[in-house]
Amino acid sequence: MKKYKTIFSSFHTIYRLITTSGDIKNFAMGICRLYKNAFFADKVTVVFKNVNSHGFMKMRLENKRQSFKKGGISILTNREKEILHQEKEIMLGNRMIYPFIFSDALGAVYIKRSPGSVEFSELEKKWFLSLSEEISISLRIFNLYREEKRLMINYIKSLTKLLDQYVPTSYLHTKSIFKLIKVIGKVMKLSEAEVKSLEYASLLHDAGKIQLPSGILRKETPLTDEEYKIIMKHPRKGVEMIKDLEILKPVIPIILHHHERYDGKGYPSKFSKDQIPLGSRILSLLDAFDAMYFGRPYRKRMHLNEIEKELKAQMGKQFDPQIVEVFLKILKREDIRKHLRSFL
Ligand SMILES: [Fe+2]
């Protein structure tokens, strides 16, 4: 009965690994552990072909030790190369090998029990085959998902380039913003997914401006009320552009509310305090920082001490006071100052 429970929970584990593993390393480690626990194996090796780089990655779990290698064909032993070429499973008393194939060879798994241990039973051999078939499919899905993500990042990059040409004023300095997002994420203990969403949002938050008349966007004199109303449409228009892209779903609320103010006087929803998504509160501060630090065609760049004063003055007004505090501490760090200076 216990065995059957393990079998059923393994299917759930595979599903969870596909949906939650952010990268191939975590995915491979999850697969190794699954084999190790389901078959009481002493050694598990998983090899995956890298679809984008044509390289390989190898994860090995032996007793409690684990090792991970990534690179060209040289990271594989001759035996592992053979297994990949063989494209046929091998089922022996204390060793089982299965090549993951789904139209193409995607990798292989090799599990082993130490000599002297109980040999794999017939039931375990059958179970090994069906589990490995499932994993071949899941690996294919995982690769497709990564491919979709890669395409999406390229799409975002092209959109950002187009945006830079059309609305140069909304340009954020990607490298410095990404660095600041990473540091804020670490200090505020944001998840990897939250950090990624913030990165995407920093690239796309003003994408909706592409749909606004460029005359208004490029205007250097003060805007009329009518013109300002048009500008205020850009968060919603930006959301319209990405709303059907599954991978960008978590980015939608961040973009929609990136012009809200902590005191509720922003737009489009006049949200205040915690009503505003955390990502939007962080992004609005970074957006303002970028404009102050690097300057814009219509405003001169400011020195860090002036920026600090301005941010303090806007605590609880434009910005979330707690985020300002975190950010001011980050700005005091010498490594960050050095990093920021390198862009000037
Ligand atoms: Fe904006």
Return the H-helix or E-strand segment holding 160.
helix 122-166
Please tell me the total count of domains within the chain.
2
- Tell whether 250 is covered by a domain: yes
Q: When comparing pLDDT for 61 and 5, which is higher?
A: 61
- Tell whether 159 is covered by a domain: no
pLDDT computed for residue 263 by the predictor? 98
Check whether 214 has a pLDDT greater than 90. Answer: no
- Tell whether 266 is covered by a domain: yes
113 with 201, same domain: the answer is: no
* CB contact set of 259 (below 8 Å; sequence gap of 6+): 232, 235, 266, 267, 268, 284
User: Using 50, 70 and 90 to split pLDDT, how confident is the model at 102?
Assistant: confident
CA distance 296 to 172: 10
What is the Å distance from ligand 1's center to 153 Cα? Answer: 20
What is the Å distance from ligand 1's center to 110 Cα? Answer: 52
- Tell whether 160 is covered by a domain: no
183 with 129, same domain: the answer is: no
What is the Å distance from ligand 1's center to 284 Cα? Answer: 8
Q: When comparing pLDDT for 160 and 110, which is higher?
A: 110
What is the Å distance from ligand 1's center to 240 Cα? Answer: 14
- Tell whether 265 is covered by a domain: yes
190 with 96, same domain: the answer is: no
pLDDT computed for residue 164 by the predictor? 77
Mean pLDDT calculated for residue range 302-308? 95
CA distance 263 to 241: 28
pLDDT computed for residue 2 by the predictor? 62
CA distance 58 to 25: 9
User: Using 50, 70 and 90 to split pLDDT, how confident is the model at 24?
Assistant: confident
What is the Å distance from ligand 1's center to 50 Cα? Answer: 38
Mean pLDDT is highest, among 79-93, 104-118, 179-193, for 179-193
CATH number at residue 98: 3.30.450.40
Mean pLDDT across the chain, nearest whole number? 89
CA distance 128 to 334: 54
Check whether 1 has a pLDDT greater than 70. Answer: no
What is the Å distance from ligand 1's center to 235 Cα? Answer: 6
pLDDT digits 0-9 by tens, 81-94: 888 887 788 889 99
- Tell whether 156 is covered by a domain: no
Cβ atoms within 10 Å of 337's Cβ, excluding its own: 13
Exposed/middle/buried for residue 330 (C-beta within 10 Å: 0-12, 13-18, 19+):
middle
pLDDT digits 0-9 by tens, 46-95: 999 887 677 899 999 998 899 999 999 899 888 888 888 877 888 899 99
pTM of this structure: 0.69
What is the Å distance from ligand 1's center to 304 Cα? Answer: 23
217 with 310, same domain: the answer is: yes
132 with 259, same domain: the answer is: no
Check whether 307 has a pLDDT greater than 90. Answer: yes
121 with 173, same domain: the answer is: no
182 with 300, same domain: the answer is: yes
pLDDT computed for residue 47 by the predictor? 93
**Contact call for residues 111 and 96 (beta carbons, < 8 A):** yes
Q: Which of 86, 110, 145 is the last residue of a domain?
A: 145
185 with 284, same domain: the answer is: yes
CATH number at residue 330: 1.10.3210.10
Check whether 167 has a pLDDT greater than 80. Answer: no
- Tell whether 261 is covered by a domain: yes
What is the Å distance from ligand 1's center to 324 Cα? Answer: 19
At 14, the amino acid letter reads I
130 with 173, same domain: the answer is: no
- Of 12-21, 200-209, 248-257, the one with minimum mean pLDDT is 12-21
* CB contact set of 283 (below 8 Å; sequence gap of 6+): 198, 201, 202, 205, 254, 258
What is the Cα 271 distance to its own chain's centre? 27
What is the Å distance from ligand 1's center to 185 Cα? Answer: 21
- Tell whether 29 is covered by a domain: yes
What is the Å distance from ligand 1's center to 155 Cα? Answer: 19
Mean pLDDT calculated for residue range 229-234? 95
What is the Å distance from ligand 1's center to 340 Cα? Answer: 22
SS3 333: coil
82 with 206, same domain: the answer is: no
pLDDT computed for residue 3 by the predictor? 64
pLDDT computed for residue 289 by the predictor? 96
What is the Å distance from ligand 1's center to 179 Cα? Answer: 20
pLDDT computed for residue 79 by the predictor? 83
Dihedral sign, Cα of residue 302, residue 166, residue 284, residue 232: positive
Percent of the chain residues topping a pLDDT of 70? 95
103 with 204, same domain: the answer is: no
User: Using 50, 70 and 90 to split pLDDT, how confident is the model at 4?
Assistant: low
∠ CA 24-133-73, nearest 5°, is: 45
Check whether 184 has a pLDDT greater than 90. Answer: yes
What is the Å distance from ligand 1's center to 283 Cα? Answer: 10
Check whether 10 has a pLDDT greater than 90. Answer: no
Check whether 141 has a pLDDT greater than 60. Answer: yes
Q: When comparing pLDDT for 131 and 159, which is higher?
A: 131
Check whether 344 has a pLDDT greater than 90. Answer: no
Q: Which of 111, 145, 179 is the last residue of a domain?
A: 145
194 with 58, same domain: the answer is: no
Check whether 130 has a pLDDT greater than 70. Answer: yes
**Contact call for residues 76 and 46 (beta carbons, < 8 A):** no
What is the Å distance from ligand 1's center to 239 Cα? Answer: 12
Q: Which of 85, 110, 145 is the last residue of a domain?
A: 145
Residue span of the structural domain in which 233 resides = 167-341
Check whether 18 has a pLDDT greater than 80. Answer: no
SS3 36: helix
